[in-house]
Amino acid sequence: MFTTNRFAALVLMLAFLFTSVSVAQDKKPKEENKKSNETVTVPANTIDFKAQLKSSNSSLDNLGAMIENGRKKAEVNTIIAAAMILFLEEGATKSKAQITGMDLLKEATDLATKQKNVNALKTLQGIWENSMLGNDKNKSKDLGATISSVEAELASTRGPGAKVVDVKVENFTNYTLYVYVDGVYQGYLNAGYYIVYNNVGTGWTDFYAETDNIWSSSQGKYIYYYWSNSYNLTNYDYTYETDFTWSVY
């Protein structure tokens, strides 16, 4: 059982750590199926959490922005941290806002499952089982089966030495790029910047990047540009150097 002080300390630690961590991300829908896959999500930054939770806790002032940042970057751990803050406030005030801790816990679980993010899934498994948080042992058990399935899949597709390759993606274009590795959305990368994704794994790996929709006056419609390639990530070592670099021009 968590004491109130220990639980509050854990939430503050998570909020500090997770807002700066970037992990694998949910896949951005392609233009042709955006409408069919669209889901209605309440913008968290439009919610006054303090008012709805009847709380004077100043940490709720930036909670909406924190949630939207986690959604935009598809950072599972940021959404988890926000969920735990809400669980704590809900327990203290006996009130609920338009977005609840359970809503975000479900959202984080869906995202981690789509990302095949084993570390996040293991964290979520414990949260679902905790009586002060998810309070659903069956959901925790289901996540255990999901974790085993994902680990087996990653091992079978990556082979020996999996999860040891660090990949740098460099954006030399004039556009913001949305980056995918093996079909999983990793996040966006602004023009002129680079980012390093850790523990991608060995074996044949698909890389894909696309721009947002751009209005083409000559074609009279919105278009987007994309880049795609596959590489066999087998030539790596155990130095501090980045193992592989994909440069997009």
Q: What is residue 191's predicted lDDT score, i.e. its pLDDT? A: 93
Contact between 188 and 209 under an 8 Å Cβ cutoff? The reply is no
Indicate the SS3 state at residue 206. Answer: strand
Q: Please give the model's pTM, rounded to 2 decimal places.
A: 0.57
Angstrom distance (rounded) from CA 90 to CA 49: 11
DSSP 41: -
- Residue 154: what pLDDT? 67
Closest CA to 193 of 213, 172, 214, 178: 172
Residue-wise pLDDT for 47-102, tens only, equals 999 999 999 998 899 999 999 988 887 788 899 999 999 999 999 999 999 999 99
Listed residue (94, 79, 14) closest to 41, CA to CA? 79
What percentage of the chain carries pLDDT values higher than 90?
43
Are 77 and 21 in contact, with CB atoms under 8 Å apart?
yes
Per-residue DSSP letter, 173: S
Give the pLDDT score at 153.
Answer: 73
